[in-house]
Structure 1
Amino acid sequence: MLTDILALTAVALHLLGITTAMHAVVHARTPQGAMAWALGLVLLPYVTLVPYLYLGSSHVHGYASPPRRRSAGILANPDAHPACVRLDALAALAGRPFRRGHALRLLVDGQAAFDAMFAAIARAQRDVLVQFFIIHDDVLGLLLQQALLERAAAGVRVHLLYDNIGSHDLPPAYVDTLRRGGVQVQAFAGRRWRNRFQLNFRNHRKLVVVDDACGFVGGLNVGDEYLGGRLPLSPWRDTQLELRGPAVADLRRAFAEDWHWSTGTTLPAAGAIADQGTASVLVLTTGPADDQETGSLCFTALIHAARQRVWLSTPYFVPDSAVLSALQLAVLRGVDVRVMIPSRADHHGVFLASTLHAHEALQRGIGMYRYQPGFLHQKAVLVDDHTAAIGSMNLDSRSFRLNFEITALAVDEAFAADMEAMLREDFARCRAIEAREYDDAPYLRRVAMHVARLFDPIL
């Protein structure tokens, strides 16, 4: 009797596995992912059915992604910077044109960034919107908590959004204290049951908006390690952008979309925001709710627009074929292509895959550099002498396809000069990667690199 039950159960699991494999073949984002899931579900449904429930979906359902248009109208603007015209595809991808009239400030590393963000929060009179992928209950986390509680006590509307997976160790007491103090707090999670099982889709955005007067975007999360308090990764190298001007409304819109997705409530839109400077800015939100591969397209368009240089800084270098080909074509055009990556690992699997990709990039003539003083977490791009990007997006498949990300593209010669000066200092602290880094590695380590690359679609 028991054997009959076990046999029927096995048959049922294999039939379910075959059915689920069909779903994976139709819906997987990449052929590699489709093949891996299909083989596992057909041959080993006992161990792959549950992981597929949590990791197999390729798309977020029900999220109100921004409209995509064929043209964002930038070509019709006679005052547009030539670089904005060249990047019109990105404006079309974002569904909005570059906005003019911004004042921009680079905030290098955690102390400068959090000093500026806390100072802006302390001046808030109407509302504060705060979103981070990771929030820790440590010294910096408690400083953020206190800053938000003080503004809420002063009658300011305060909203805090964090990612449930990135902040998995945030204790309930931290959140409860904020709620008792009048802060609206929410973990990012879809309200539809079919999205609740998905662990792959993470909100990796980091942004702060204060009174629609200023906004901050970049790579920093809230934790003592971002101030250099985590050995052996310290000092932590990161960058945040402060912007003032009309594009602050786009940062607000990005937060409001995530808030509505998580709570079902709608935040008021920004009012008219006066010009504060001369820079042109495009805020680009990307994620798994988009019909297109917006993250990869963003990097590809930026690289193709380059005529003199492309300097990239990323903690994880796991490019897809489109981005790698764009980098190689830039080299063939005579563009100065440099990619800066860490010399220390915070995630060993990604570090191994990045090392192999860096070796292959060298073979294509791409300059690869390892930042030496500490862990490099900065996500920055400089194109020629006029275009720069700061945001949350890493140069890897997870940021391209699985994470909700946000990037601010700035077209302005003065800001690009600030970025150039910052990156020159960073590259001066780098060691150029040579082929022997891979060639001289022990055989088993090289095997581990190739094994790690098999997991590129989820790294």
Structure 2
Amino acid sequence: MSLLSYDPTTWWGIGLLVAFYVFGFLHILHALMNTRTSQGTIAWIACLISVPFFAIPLYWMLGRSRFTGYIRARRSNDIQLKNIIDGMHKTLLQYSVDLPEEDVIERAATELGGLPFTRGNSLQVLINGKSTFEHLFSAIARAEKYICVNFFIVKTDKVGMKFQKALIERARSGVKVYFLFDEIGSHKLTSTYLGELRDAGVQCEAFGSGRRLLSRLQMNFRNHRKIAVVDGREAFLGGLNVGDEYLGRDKRFGDWRDTHLHLKGPSVQAVQLVFLEDWFWACDRVPELLWETETFPADQKTAIIPTGPADPTDSWKLLVAEAANSSRKRLWITSPYFVPDDGVMTALQLAALRGVDVRIMLPAVADHLLVWLSSFAYYEQSIPFGVKLFRYADGFLHQKVLLIDDRMAAVGTANLDNRSFRLNFEVTAFVSDQTFIRQISDMLSEDFSRCAEVKLEEFTEKSFLFRAACRAARLMAPIQ
């Protein structure tokens, strides 16, 4: 039978197959030029060559290294927005701190985050859910002009309903309320919940959805920030989302160990700038906010450092590596997830080898199985080099805290994993105030007393199937 006698549908199928492979080749070129790691590049090229019809849509959802189209407010062409940003940068510079050359982590943080260390701040450490929600709901009740809230997860349980009621009450009292939530993290939010907020006058926007088709395809990027700003006078950021488990009400986890911050002073305006940028991305609108600031006698020096996939480099990864490289006595890190890449792992190893007390506190129980399994696969790269791993046994550990020697502490939303390094929008407060550092040191010392130090045998003497599962989970680290 000659080729000319083939059914036209056959030719259509052949043409479609050829088109997929041509399109796949174009994606291979994109992956070759843009994928950040050699392992990721090889994996995507192999998939795009062998099964382009499956790999191409997955590449659009999971393979992009940058959040295409994200309009960074600091670079925006919107005149109103640009004037606000430029004005606030000038204002923050009036309260900025001159950094000596030896303050390398401080200089790196401000260079990567784009916002300066400011003086005149007052910071309160909020330990666990009860303290955090008491302060947050009290601040919301005090609001006179406006409230800005941005959470990765908002649930419709008891705490979530109380949160909704608090926003509705303020909105009906004439306070402007801007509510931003991550579309993936808060995917269980019901239309009824949001409808009741909107009916009361709350402006609700989902981060990651809406008018940009390209952004909807980039499902792997998340806004992991937890921010609240009230009247431009006080702000909150840290590890807690809005849900009952953060009060220890979920029997799967028991008590929930987390840390949040309550900020006053010039740092509030920096937090507000981060919210403004995210809000503008979500809806192309500039909210009506107040930009006056005040200082407080505590005079605590703080920098608000936003990081994320719109940055020109992997900012959070570089900051963690620099923290390890610049540490001289101790480097204490707490994170629910421990999936470092090779660069961060090398920096941690070298710090431990030169005598730094490198401790990493992790949960003993899992909330995300793959990430929990992945952490075991790093035991052999950590413990033999002197990196000490601890498992928190008194409930679930979720706080994201960093302590460098006796000179810097950081509290925020970023974890020690690929998501926070490359895929999530995060925000962290770096603090060089000695009173604050001692407070964080005492807090973490208490936490370590509730931990068990990990032994290498807890991985090497496990069953073959468990070790294989851990290594397989580690391979999926880029999409966990």
> If the length of structure 2 is used for normalisation, what is the TM-score?
0.90
Instruction: Go from structure 1 to structure 2 and tell me whether the alpha carbon gap of 1:115 and 1:82 turns closer, same or farther (over 3 Å shift).
Output: farther
Q: Output one character per residue of 1:97-141: Cα deviation in whole Å (capped at 9) or x when no partner.
A: 210111111111111101110001111111111110001111010
Measured in 1, the distance between the counterparts of 2:289 and 2:407 equals: 31
Q: How well do the aligned residues superpose, as a CA RMSD in angstroms?
A: 2.1
Q: Deviation of residue 52 (structure 1)?
A: 1.8
Provide the rounded CA distance (Å) in 1 between the counterparts of 2:254 and 2:405.
31
2:86 alignment partner in structure 1? none
- Tell me the amino acid that sits aligned with residue 186 of structure 2: S
Partner of 1:171: 190
Q: Is the 8 A contact 2:392 2:447 kept in 1?
A: yes
**Counterpart-to-counterpart distance in 1, 2:319 and 2:418:** 13
Whether 1:13 and 2:20 are equivalent positions in the alignment is yes
- State whether residues 331 and 365 of structure 1, in contact with CA within 8 Å, keep that contact through their aligned partners in structure 2: yes
Q: 1:419 to 1:66 in 2, by over 3 A?
A: farther
Paired residues of 1:136 and 1:169 also in contact (CA < 8 A): yes
Aligned residues: 455
Separation in 2 of the partners of 1:188 and 1:77?
31
Contact kept in structure 2, 1:253 and 1:269, CA below 8 Å? no
1:264-413 paired onto structure 2 within 5 Å: 264-268=284-288, 270-276=290-296, 277-413=298-434
Q: Does 1:97 align with 2:116?
A: yes
Take 1:306 and 1:198, find their aligned partners in 2: how far apart are those partners? Answer: 36
Report the Cα distance in structure 2 between the residues aligned to 1:160 and 1:359, rounded to whole angstroms: 44
* 3-state SS, counterpart of residue 301 of structure 2: strand
Name the residue aligned to 2:251: 231
* Alignment TM-score, normalising by the size of structure 1: 0.94
User: Which shifted more, 241-250 or 188-197?
Assistant: 188-197
1:384-438 deviation line (CA, Å, top 9, x unaligned): 2231111110000111101100001111111111111111111011010001011
The one-letter code of the counterpart of 2:44 is W
Q: Establish whether residue 196 from structure 1 lines up as the match of residue 203 from structure 2.
A: no
CA distance in 1 between counterparts of 2:285 and 2:356 reads 47
Letter of the structure 1 residue corresponding to residue 352 of structure 2: V
Give the aligned residue type for 1:123. R
1:63 match: 70
Q: Which moved more, 1:115-124 or 1:89-98?
A: 89-98
1:77, distance to aligned residue in structure 2 (A) = 7.7
CA contact (8 A) 1:81 1:411 kept: no
User: What letter matches 1:232 in structure 2?
Assistant: R
Per-residue CA deviations over 1:338-379 (Å, capped at 9, x if unaligned) read: 000011111111111111113421122101000002111110
CA-CA distance at 1:50 after TM superposition: 2.1
Could you say which residue in structure 2 is the equivalent of 1:27? 34
- Gaps of at least 5 residues in structure 1 are none
Read off the aligned partner of 1:218 and give its amino acid letter: G
Q: Which shifted more, 283-292 or 267-276?
A: 267-276
- Percent identity, aligned pairs only? 42
Helix, strand or coil for the counterpart of 1:395? Answer: coil
| Residues 215 and 243, structure 1, Cα contact 8 Å, conserved in 2 | yes
Q: Is the 8 A contact 1:66 1:95 kept in 2?
A: no
Assess if the C-alpha contact under 8 Å between 2:362 and 2:392 holds in 1.
yes
Bigger Cα Rg: 2
- Structure 1 distance, partners of 2:353, 2:61, is 42
The CA distance in 2 between the partners of 1:184 and 1:439, in whole Å, is 53
Cα gap change, 1:50 to 1:104, in 2 (>3 Å): same
Match status 1:136 vs 2:155: yes
Asked if residue 38 in structure 1 is aligned to residue 45 in structure 2, the reply is: yes
Once residues 384 and 66 of structure 1 are traced to their aligned partners in structure 2, the CA distance between those partners, rounded to angstroms, is: 34
